[in-house]
Amino acid sequence: MNAPSGDVGGGLYAAQQKVYPREVTGRFRTLRTAAIFALLGLFYLVPWTQWSARQAVLFDLPARRFYIFSLTFFPQDFFFLTWLLIIAALSLFFFTAVAGRLWCGFACPQTVWTEVFVWMERLTEGNRSQRMKLDKAPWSPRKLGRKSAKQVLWVGFAMLTGFTFVGFFSPIRELMTSAFALSLGPWETFWILFYGFAAYGNAGYLREQVCKYMCPYARFQSAMFDKQTLIISYDTARGEPRGARGRDSDYKAKGLGDCIDCTLCVQVCPTGIDIRKGLQYECIACAACIDACNDVMTKMSYPKGLIRYSTQAALEGKPTRILRPRSVVYGILLLGLMVGFVVAVAARSPIGIEVLRDRNALYRETGEGWVENVYTVRVVNKDAGPRRLLLTLEGPKELSLEAETTELQLEAGEVKGFPVRIRMRAGALRGGHEIELEAKSLETGKKLARGESRFIAP
């Protein structure tokens, strides 16, 4: 496994040494597996969920509208998406401050997909030492068979991942029909391959190197840490000096600590670090070393927790406080934004209206003594049910609204665009005037939305 020394500055294609994470069992392994099933389960199943005869969650980019269960969002609602992104960022701050790199170890797509790819590698190439032996061995039919089996699994899973990803943006049932009929559109094919390849490369080959060299969060997260943040740490005071010993030997008499230097904590680490050297930015807090060490401690009949979730304050013998200015401020901000978001979505006007002036002419004089402005009106029904609307003009009383009809019927999610004219008797007004078109509910008379524009007279 030794690298030729001094070859650290090699070129772009210098062979990267591989980390062979050893398999591990234990409480945190079980939790991680549960997280993987939950998150990947959501990813692969949500596009197949139906909601009143359409895909429940669909970011329909070609039609420029997002469906999320009963809600429909239009580009005008972009504000909500930004809000959601701010909530996501603040959640990351909050959880990092309180629980450290919980995101990295349990929820980051990079970790989650890497776990699945490593699992497939284990299935085809065996456990850690078998994999290391296989990689060192010369090519043989057996090696070829195992490596090919792994590639088949990897490529298949990567393609399924790319397909599912595109299925969030293009109705997945139709996508599957066209995939089987080999009639996918060029961009659909491209993005399936692109995302599939990204999953294959990142989870199959780059793995922990993404976290170490490419992830911005890994570099910034320490700014959100304080002495009360949950970290994975090795109890140096208890463990050192480390050393091998017989199971029943009186190691304390020999001056040894609890660490038997079995190096299992290093072997299970997906990023290949030694947690005993202290907190390192490569640590993604997956807790595999905790499981491995607890196992060893149990076998040695020592107390568990030589490597454990702890805080810097606790390691220094000070009390750990979850409530502290940082966590409280992040928490209150986060809660406020989330409540605000729900209220704003609930109070969102179900109707949207846009009034666009005709770009070609400022005004038009008709033969019969009228001056007209022409507009295109777009009315959107964002509601889950049909709506009947009445369109009225608000503005100087000299103006009147001329349209084919001012009564509209819009189905759920429907967008209607149509021309309207606003006119006045020639000479009644001069210059520009603010006008508004209002949409009222035909049933209740309630004002639902209004669109502003200008009327221009000679």
Partner 1 sequence: MSASDADRPPPWSRLRQDVGAVVWSSFLAACLAAMLFFAAFDPLTLASDDNPPWWLESRMTGYSVGFFFFWFVCAVAGFLTSALLHSSAGAGQRGD
List residues near partner 1 by CB under 8 A.
Answer: 1-3, 7-12, 14, 16-19, 61-62, 64, 75, 78, 81, 129, 132, 185, 187-188, 190-191, 209-210, 212-216, 263, 266-267, 272-274
Please state the closest distance from residue 216 (CB atom) to partner 1, in A: 6
Please state the closest distance from residue 168 (CB atom) to partner 1, in A: 14
CA distances from 170 to 76, 197, 199, 358 (A): 21, 19, 19, 33
- Is 82:88 a contact under the CB 8 Å cutoff? no
Among residues 16 and 140, whose Cβ is nearest to partner 1?
16
Residue 239 token pair = 């463990």
Among residues 214 and 223, whose Cβ is nearest to partner 1?
214
Please state the closest distance from residue 107 (CB atom) to partner 1, in A: 17
Please state the closest distance from residue 287 (CB atom) to partner 1, in A: 18
Please state the closest distance from residue 338 (CB atom) to partner 1, in A: 21
Among residues 379 and 399, whose Cβ is nearest to partner 1?
379
CA distance 104 to 72: 32
- Is 297:305 a contact under the CB 8 Å cutoff? yes
Among residues 37 and 220, whose Cβ is nearest to partner 1?
220
Among residues 37 and 205, whose Cβ is nearest to partner 1?
205
CA distance 87 to 335: 9
What are the helix and strand counts (H, E) for the chain? 15, 16
Please state the closest distance from residue 53 (CB atom) to partner 1, in A: 24
- Is 100:231 a contact under the CB 8 Å cutoff? yes
Among residues 81 and 339, whose Cβ is nearest to partner 1?
81
Instruction: Decide: helix, strand or coil at residue 99.
Output: helix
Surface-to-core class of residue 87, CB atoms within 10 Å of its CB (0-12 exposed, 13-18 middle, 19+ buried): middle
CA distances from 288 to 66, 217, 262 (A): 39, 21, 15
Among residues 270 and 395, whose Cβ is nearest to partner 1?
270
Q: What is the DSSP string of 314-379?
A: HHTTPPP-S-SHHHHHHHHHHHHHHHHHHHHHHT--SEEEEEEE-SS-S-EE-TTSEEEEEEEEEE
Please state the closest distance from residue 35 (CB atom) to partner 1, in A: 23
CA distance 277 to 115: 25
Among residues 14 and 342, whose Cβ is nearest to partner 1?
14
Please state the closest distance from residue 17 (CB atom) to partner 1, in A: 4
